[in-house]
Amino acid sequence: MGPTITEKTFRQIIEEISDHHHPMSGFAIAAAATQAAALAEACMQISLDNQVDKLNWQDVTHQIGQMAHLKDTLLEWCNQHTGQIELLMARANYQVELTSRQLLWDHLIEISSLSIRAASLVQEFRPLVFAEIQDDLELSFQLLLNTAQTALLLVERNLRQWPGETVNECAPRLIHLNAEISRLKPATAG
Determine the pLDDT at residue 93.
52
Confidence of residue 188 (pLDDT cuts 50, 70, 90): confident
Domains in the chain with CATH codes: 11-182 (1.20.120.680)
CB proximity list for 181: less than 8 A, separation 6 or greater? 116, 145, 148, 149, 152
What would the pLDDT profile of 15-61 be if each residue is shown by its tens digit? 887 887 777 888 899 999 999 999 999 999 999 999 999 999 999 99
Determine the pLDDT at residue 105.
80
Q: How far is the C-alpha of 134 from the C-alpha of 167, rounded, in Å?
A: 40
Contact 107, 26 (CB under 8 A): yes
Contact 172, 132 (CB under 8 A): no
Asked if pLDDT for residue 108 goes beyond 80, the answer is: yes
Does residue 49 sit in helix, strand or coil? helix
pTM of the predicted protein model: 0.87
